Amino acid sequence: MIVTLKGWASRDAEAIERVEAVIREHELEVHEKRGTEYTVIAVIGVGDNVSACQIQLEAMDEVWKVQRISNPNKFVSRAYHTQNTAFPLNGHVLGGPEFIVMAGPCSIESEPQIMACAEVVADCGGHVLRGGAFKPRSSPYAFQGLGLDGLKLLRRAGDQFGLPVITEALAIEDLPLVEEWADIIQIGARNMQNFRLLEAVSRCKKPVMLKRGIASDVDEWLGSAEYIVRPGKTNVMLCERGIRTSDRTYTRNTLDIQAVPVLRELTHLPIIVDPSHAAGRRAYIPAMMRAAVAAGADGIIVEMHPDPPKAKSDGAQSLSFPEFRAAMTLLVPYLRLFAEERAVTLDPIVV
Amino acid sequence: MIVTLKGWASRDAEAIERVEAVIREHELEVHEKRGTEYTVIAVIGVGDNVSACQIQLEAMDEVWKVQRISNPNKFVSRAYHTQNTAFPLNGHVLGGPEFIVMAGPCSIESEPQIMACAEVVADCGGHVLRGGAFKPRSSPYAFQGLGLDGLKLLRRAGDQFGLPVITEALAIEDLPLVEEWADIIQIGARNMQNFRLLEAVSRCKKPVMLKRGIASDVDEWLGSAEYIVRPGKTNVMLCERGIRTSDRTYTRNTLDIQAVPVLRELTHLPIIVDPSHAAGRRAYIPAMMRAAVAAGADGIIVEMHPDPPKAKSDGAQSLSFPEFRAAMTLLVPYLRLFAEERAVTLDPIVV
Amino acid sequence: MIVTLKGWASRDAEAIERVEAVIREHELEVHEKRGTEYTVIAVIGVGDNVSACQIQLEAMDEVWKVQRISNPNKFVSRAYHTQNTAFPLNGHVLGGPEFIVMAGPCSIESEPQIMACAEVVADCGGHVLRGGAFKPRSSPYAFQGLGLDGLKLLRRAGDQFGLPVITEALAIEDLPLVEEWADIIQIGARNMQNFRLLEAVSRCKKPVMLKRGIASDVDEWLGSAEYIVRPGKTNVMLCERGIRTSDRTYTRNTLDIQAVPVLRELTHLPIIVDPSHAAGRRAYIPAMMRAAVAAGADGIIVEMHPDPPKAKSDGAQSLSFPEFRAAMTLLVPYLRLFAEERAVTLDPIVV
Amino acid sequence: MIVTLKGWASRDAEAIERVEAVIREHELEVHEKRGTEYTVIAVIGVGDNVSACQIQLEAMDEVWKVQRISNPNKFVSRAYHTQNTAFPLNGHVLGGPEFIVMAGPCSIESEPQIMACAEVVADCGGHVLRGGAFKPRSSPYAFQGLGLDGLKLLRRAGDQFGLPVITEALAIEDLPLVEEWADIIQIGARNMQNFRLLEAVSRCKKPVMLKRGIASDVDEWLGSAEYIVRPGKTNVMLCERGIRTSDRTYTRNTLDIQAVPVLRELTHLPIIVDPSHAAGRRAYIPAMMRAAVAAGADGIIVEMHPDPPKAKSDGAQSLSFPEFRAAMTLLVPYLRLFAEERAVTLDPIVV
């Protein structure tokens, strides 16, 4: 931790001593250096003492800024776990040599709808069936999902076509049902900092996919993942789904494709890309599915629907079946490249 | 609702007919107008049919964009409730002729701490005591609050110094306790789109303060408020607390002071400003307390602490007692101006 | 153009008449439709009258909002020029079946430096040599470029290795020199709305590459391109280089990879991606070079340097020669896929 | 300057030595500290060597990040010039005990228009007349200003009503004219990083107002100001005009009102607020005029027009004469408070 004093304090021996006394109280080492303008103090130590000391220093009048050097997230950081995390998924491996395609409707609406989706996903070589049973909606007047009935339909469709299924848990009370009926539990963007829910999902056995918050930075996202990952709970993946920026004219969000190599450097967890919520319009999705492969993600999650204009939610960003088939056909040569590179190294993208 | 067709569809009678058929299926009126480049269709009607039709149109290949004209939020919109909402609070009126000052520590830490805060708040003319018992923290290793013990201490401090108290409910399971022990229930920024929690708090009798999400736009914020406000539940206020922007060097967030007149135009609900979370550093807070009064808000909520460097959370943005006293002294003449103007009109700020 | 009246004006015949009188004064057609809450007026017509009328309507008290339907940018819009624009470049075609790689140092520093770069670019199959002679620097104390001497060195290096050269013109007074010595004129991000410079570069014969402004939206970017493109001046390309967002911790900017398919839909101009300025750190660049190919761009521009730590500018985002060679080797199979797809269609990415 | 090494380099004596050798080459002092996870090196020294060394370190493989502690902007920083800068303006003092009101039309359109504006500005107690002669427009088809004729009309109107005048110089070639005819030279938001223009305006004698770039952070803004301020050229003021954020629904920009106390802490230059460009809609401007006073700015610049719907630019954000008069009347008691506080201290707002 590096502490920079304010200009006046940098030249005031008593002020410096007040700051150093606080550091010593936390049983941390002090290394002071007076520069030409500012005095800087390096604080050496580990663990909770550092965090507690940081909070106190930040509030002192004498202090200009405090910069943490060591990583506060022990379980998700690559610094403590250098190997990539990969875990089995229905005969495939997430985070492994194969690029995983998850697809399905935004909301589960009926048995024929989810069955038709599952059939196309399986037929196109997809690996996981997605479908929402509990829906977070920004208006109270919008469709809120089929709930348990939806979960059961999703399960049936996945089983029939040999696909594991992923669905979102919106609240702690959904977790027992979602864990009973689904293979992967999704935590949505709006819940990325619903810390009680994160603690609860950490106690679930099934894999968890944590979406990035609407305007979260990478450190906050990893801080939220740290709530879930712990010894014995490492089957967690991160999902980039676009962040909110100042340009919202043609796309719903800005797909932060650079997050793929950034996360690869910072964490050992698998990385999924969701081009559907990033784009918000289906014309842009096929190109982004390919960009996700080329950027080195471990998989994608894509929305599709038998009849997008009839979808009860997210129709504008759901591929029709012909569109999904075309996009998957265009994806195939990229998946082949991906597999060839992963056969050589799991991380070909980091120089 | 205005529907603009894509270029090719604008010149294709069958494409236009497909779009209009969908509108008619929803029992809405169609008014088509062919421009020089694009065909535009005005859709006339009210209620849920319009929302359902909108989702379908947005997903049609023929459609370029769909713009909603009428307001989907009936309960919070000024269009349906032109008078400002105001409600009593311990002998004062929130949203009325008096500017309400809420203050207190970020977290309740001990009986002497909260008692000392309450005494200073009351002595400086503050109206409400704030204090967190359940804390949302971006790291799982940070202080998470005293819980029920904190609520009881807050209640005791408020009672002793004649101040109603406000505290955050972090999850549905906190609501019974918070409603039992506090006078105002706060929903925090990270929970602004925790829709289950919004539905649950709508069933509480006590007033609710809904903070703006970290990067929420005004329409999303009002959409969340619409989850809470309903006939019989109008004691709800909105709290601007800064939004995340690209400049995060010197302040934690960017205080969107313009949100005050914008909300005043769009909604009848009272508007509170939180300069502490916007600034993140206490040097900037007194100026922003004054700006909030001048901008026409109904109140502020400010963090203070007997010894900020010893605070377990948010010390950097908590005013010390001398700082809080000084800021309140500087605020007094502005409060006098405020009261004079509100005596003439409740909304002096909108031209 | 769609004009929505305010609530009160929507129900006031005289107010409506005042608005319609303004539209008629501009010799445009009026089509009024009264909805359940708002009156909406469709305005039909073309050309400058519409723009003039729009400004006036936006300032009327009666008007809530004005939405332009038709595209104000006639020369850059695909609506008026459906075929992709492509133009020859030293035996290659920009915007054609081949993906163009431009590379070189941020600043031209010396003859050995630029010669060494040119040799590696040519040897790796790059098509264009980049190098800055006039440098925009956010501090007045930073290296400002070699000026004319730099241009001459760049020319010599390009000629020796058979590469056309691109360099930035920082101001109108640079244009004659840049046009004399370079093959492509770059307009930088900070000058995207330097409208005088745009007008001046429009009169140059050489191709122009217009970078996106630091936080510009796509419409502003196309508006700036419209200053340059005109009959007889269509050799213009757009360069996405990352936009500023709220997450600046690990990358300098957020690469808006979705801008590639968005621009492809809106404009006929070629699209280049600059992963170096987006990332700001070289570890992330190779993955983004590949993502740019997969997303369907027409080329990339990448910074490299014989010894990045000795670079006078942008060393942190400049690939070393071994890094550049490795990144180009990894790129080759993606370029092959690109060429195969472009052989079938110039726009495989738009569904 | 604090240099943090990457994890692997922190534990590799040769890597550390390579970094320290670079620092010593620049004749700077090295102070190394090995933490539990990372090695951190404090670099002590002043001047250009530090900047040159920083660029080199940032590009080294061994280096994770480099943080500058000392301020690179010597002329604008309060660290080197603790007293507020104030300068005379037509019998008033900018940056002094009086709050300065600048007002006038966006564009000068005709003699009657600018005369009428000047009369109202003077009559309401305004101090400076604004008016644009050279206009930066995001579309090439929009009104571009009257040029020299406009400057002459502005001068005549100012002289007749005893008001100094401010107008924008769009390019270096405008400077001689603007300096001849105007009293204050404005550099617009889109030109904040047009460094050649900044260098040129630094050689002008007249005061300069530098607007904040569209999405510039405070450090970039001060870096641009550093291009202008130098010994003998200190009559420079900064103008906050709103920054671009993700919420653009109801306002054109987000007024960063916190920038007022932030700048007050960092720089000695006077601070102006432009609520017109921030809001983009006139309903919100009067409240923001007052907020600017309360926040402790030194002045405001506001757009007004005899007939906003007839304005050739920015009509939507121009106050009509009655609106401007009403806003000024509401401002008066705030100006009185301002004067009372400035009589005691020039910086009442910083705790």
Average confidence (pLDDT) per 10 residues, chain B, 351 residues = 89 93 92 84 82 88 86 84 89 92 97 98 98 84 87 98 97 94 97 94 97 95 94 94 94 97 95 97 96 98 95 91 97 95 60 27
Nearest to D138 among C59, C193, C214 (CB): C193
- 3-state class percentages of chain A: helix first, strand second, coil last, to nearest 5: 40, 20, 40
pLDDT number for residue B345:
65
List all residues of chain A from 43 to 82 with a beta carbon under 8 Å from chain D: 44-46, 67, 69-71, 79
Q: Output phi, psi for A233, to 5 deg.
A: -130, 80
**pLDDT tens readout for residues A19-52:** 999 999 999 989 888 887 789 898 888 777 888 8
Q: Inter-chain contact A44–D35, Cβ cutoff 8 Å?
A: yes
> Nearest to residue D189, comparing CAs of B217, A245, B242, C214?
C214
Q: Inter-chain contact C310–D56, Cβ cutoff 8 Å?
A: yes
Say how far apart CA B128 and CA D47 lie, in whole Å. Answer: 51
Q: What is the mean pLDDT of chain A?
A: 92
- H or E segment at D66? strand D63-67
B71 CA to centre of own chain = 18
C247 near A CB under 8 A: yes
Residue A349: pLDDT band (50, 70, 90) is: very low
Q: Inter-chain contact C44–B36, Cβ cutoff 8 Å?
A: yes
Binding partners of B (≥3 Cβ pairs within 8 A): A, C, D
For the residues A343-347, what does the mean pLDDT come to? 66
Q: What is the CATH topology of the domain spanning C85-350?
A: TIM Barrel (3.20.20)
From A218, which residue of chain B is nearest by alpha-carbon distance?
Answer: B138
Residue A228: pLDDT band (50, 70, 90) is: very high
Say how far apart CA B59 and CA B39 lie, in whole Å. Answer: 17
Q: Where in chain C is the domain with CATH 3.30.70.1140?
A: 2-67
Residue A98: pLDDT band (50, 70, 90) is: very high
Q: Is the dihedral of CA D286, D289, D293, D296 positive or negative?
A: positive
**pLDDT tens readout for residues B258-294:** 999 999 999 999 999 999 999 999 999 999 999 999 9
- Output the DSSP codes for C5-67: E-HHHHT-HHHHHHHHHHHHHTT-EEEEEE-SS-EEEEEE--SHHHHHHHHHHHT-TTEEEEE
For the residues D203-226, what does the mean pLDDT come to? 96
- Give the contacts of C154 (CB within 8 A, at least 6 positions apart): C108, C114, C129, C131, C133, C165, C167, C181, C182
pLDDT number for residue C350:
32
- The DSSP code for D173 is G
pLDDT number for residue C242:
97
Nearest to B258 among D215, D255, D323 (CB): D255
Say how far apart CA D157 and CA D137 lie, in whole Å. Answer: 25
Residue with tokens 């919202």, as numbered in its chain: A248
CATH architecture of D2-67: 2-Layer Sandwich (3.30)
Q: Is pLDDT of A152 > 80?
A: yes
Residue pair D296/B287 in contact by the 8 Å Cβ criterion:
yes
- Please name the residue ranges forming H helices in chain D: 7-10, 13-25, 48-58, 111-123, 148-161, 175-181, 195-202, 218-228, 259-266, 275-279, 285-295, 321-344
Cβ-in-10-Å burial (0-12, 13-18, 19+) of C307 comes to middle
A41's tokens: 């103090």
Residues of D within 8 A of B336 (CB-CB) are none
Q: Inter-chain contact A199–B316, Cβ cutoff 8 Å?
A: no
Distant-in-sequence contacts of D328-333, Cβ < 8 A, 24+ apart: D328/D101, D328/D124, D328/D125, D328/D126, D330/B341, D330/B348, D330/D286, D330/D290, D331/D101, D331/D286, D331/D289, D331/D290, D331/D293, D332/D125, D333/B337, D333/B340
Say how far apart CA A194 and CA A199 lie, in whole Å. Answer: 9
Return the bridge partners of C67, or none.
C2
Q: Is pLDDT of D134 > 50?
A: yes
Q: Which of B245, B258, B328 to mutate to test the interface with D (most CBs of D within 10 A)?
A: B258
Residues of chain C scoring pLDDT < 50 = 347-351
**pLDDT tens readout for residues D251-292:** 999 999 999 999 999 999 999 999 999 999 999 999 999 999
Q: Where in chain C is the domain with CATH 3.20.20.70?
A: 85-350
Residue A346: pLDDT band (50, 70, 90) is: low
Q: Is pLDDT of A241 > 70?
A: yes
Which position has the higher pLDDT, D16 or D52? D16
Residue pair B62/B19 in contact by the 8 Å Cβ criterion:
yes
Say how far apart CA C190 and CA C248 lie, in whole Å. Answer: 18
Residue pair B251/D219 in contact by the 8 Å Cβ criterion:
no
- Report the amino acid identity of residue C274: D
Nearest to A245 among C245, C290, C330 (CB): C245
**pLDDT tens readout for residues C35-68:** 877 898 988 887 778 888 988 898 898 998 888 8
Alpha carbon of C33 to those of B22, C51, C63, C322: distances in Å? 20, 22, 14, 66
C290 near A CB under 8 A: yes
SS3 A305: coil
- The DSSP code for D304 is B
**pLDDT tens readout for residues D17-75:** 999 999 999 999 898 888 877 898 988 887 778 888 988 898 898 998 888 877 778 89
Residue with tokens 């081009």, as numbered in its chain: A275
List all residues of chain B from 314 to 343 with a beta carbon under 8 Å from chain D: 319, 323, 326-327, 330, 333-334, 337, 340-341
D226 near C CB under 8 A: yes
B266 near D CB under 8 A: yes
Say how far apart CA B300 and CA B280 lie, in whole Å. Answer: 15
Q: Inter-chain contact B294–D296, Cβ cutoff 8 Å?
A: no
Q: Inter-chain contact A139–B223, Cβ cutoff 8 Å?
A: yes
- Give the contacts of B145 (CB within 8 A, at least 6 positions apart): B107, B108, B132, B133, B134, B135
- Output the DSSP codes for C93-116: EETSSS-EEEEE-SB---HHHHHH
- The DSSP code for B320 is P
Q: Which of C195, C221, C319 to mutate to test the interface with D (most CBs of D within 10 A)?
A: C195
- The DSSP code for A77 is B
C36 CA to centre of own chain = 43
Cβ-in-10-Å burial (0-12, 13-18, 19+) of D322 comes to exposed
Say how far apart CA A94 and CA A270 lie, in whole Å. Answer: 7
Range name among A172-176, A249-253, B50-54, B267-271 with the lowest pLDDT average: B50-54
pLDDT number for residue B142:
76
Whether the model pTM is above 0.80 = yes
For residue D1, give how far its alpha carbon lies from the nearest alpha carbon of chain C (Å).
16
Alpha carbon of B63 to those of A107, B3, B7, B10, B11: distances in Å? 22, 7, 9, 9, 12
Say how far apart CA A166 and CA A303 lie, in whole Å. Answer: 12
A249's tokens: 């004219």
A25 near B CB under 8 A: no
pLDDT number for residue D351:
27
C113's tokens: 């430096």
Say how far apart CA A209 and CA A217 lie, in whole Å. Answer: 17
Q: Inter-chain contact A70–D42, Cβ cutoff 8 Å?
A: no
For the residues D126-131, what does the mean pLDDT come to? 98
Q: Which of D77, D258, D338, D340 to mutate to test the interface with B (most CBs of B within 10 A)?
A: D258
Return the bridge partners of A88, or none.
A93
From B219, which residue of chain A is nearest by alpha-carbon distance?
Answer: A138
Nearest to D288 among B217, B257, B323 (CB): B257
Nearest to C33 among B7, B31, B38 (CB): B31
Say how far apart CA C313 and CA C276 lie, in whole Å. Answer: 12
Nearest to A294 among C215, C279, C334 (CB): C334
